[in-house]
Amino acid sequence: MQVPQIRLQQTYAQIGLRITQPIQELQQEPARLSIKQTPATMKVTRTPSKLDINQDQARNEINMKMPDVFSRDNAEASRQKGLENIAEIVLEGNQLAAIETKTDALAAIAVNKSLPEPDDYNIAFIPSYGSVQIDYTPTQLHIEWEKGGADIHATPHEITHHYTPGKTEVYLRQMNQLQIDIVGGSINTQS
């Protein structure tokens, strides 16, 4: 005996979606700028450096004197030499006048004149330390800045905004089905 079988064949329902994307549009013109710039200014005040060298003392010490100093020193040396000669003449006169001492004054004066004392000499072409005076004033700089600036005016433009919303439509793409088949054998439906 053959037993009948029930066969089920099922198809599921399927839905479909129709999607329309949303559209957003933004438009804006660039802002209008007005810029006015004032440049910075710089003012520089400069005092130049100054170098003073006074070598008068060094020149005097090595006998390279200025004319006025040379004249003054020669006058002083001549005066001094004149006073020394007067003193020597007075001394010789006093020696000759002193007859009572019974000395040979003429012989002593002759020996003194024939054998003078050695001259005092020294190296005169090297000036002493510190005889050259140096005075230096460095350069002075004074800088003044005056800041410039920028005056900016901006005029913005409005944004134009357009928006189209999207849509989603749902539809039935495939219906669901259930098919029932009886296969094999016969079924007695009468009782």
144: Cβ–Cβ under 8 A, 6 or more apart, which residues? 42, 43, 44, 45
- In this prediction, residue 124 has a pLDDT band, given cuts at 50, 70 and 90, of low
> Other CB atoms closer than 10 Å to residue 109's CB: what's the count?
15
**Average pLDDT value for residue range 110-125:** 74
Mean pLDDT in residue range 5-28: 90
Predicted local confidence at residue 43, as pLDDT: 93
**If you average pLDDT over residues 115-135, what whole number do you get?**
78
Residue 181's pLDDT band (cuts 50, 70, 90)? confident
Which token pair is 177? 């089905």
Distances from the Cα of 81 to the Cαs of 62, 71, 177, in angstroms? 21, 15, 157
pLDDT band at 112 (very low <50, low <70, confident <90, very high): confident
Indicate whether 183 pLDDT > 60: yes
The pLDDT tens digits of the residues spanning 136-168 come to 999 999 999 898 888 989 998 888 999 999 999
CA distances from 70 to 65, 118, 124, 151, 157 (A): 5, 25, 16, 74, 93
CA 136 to each of CA 56, 119, 120, 130, 139: distance values in angstroms, whole numbers, following the listed order: 17, 42, 39, 15, 10
Joined together, the tokens standing for residue 181 give 């088949």
Res. 127: pLDDT tops 90: no
Q: In terms of Cα–Cα distance, which of 105, 89, 87 is closest to 97?
A: 105
Rounded Cα distance, 39 and 149, in Å: 7
Helix (H, G, I), strand (E, B) or coil at 34: strand
What is the rounded average pLDDT for all residues in the chain?
Answer: 85
Residue 132, amino acid = V
Give the Cα separation of 68 and 70 in Å (integer): 5
Average pLDDT over residues 6-11: 88
For the chain, which residues make up each domain, given as ranges?
1-40+147-191, 55-133
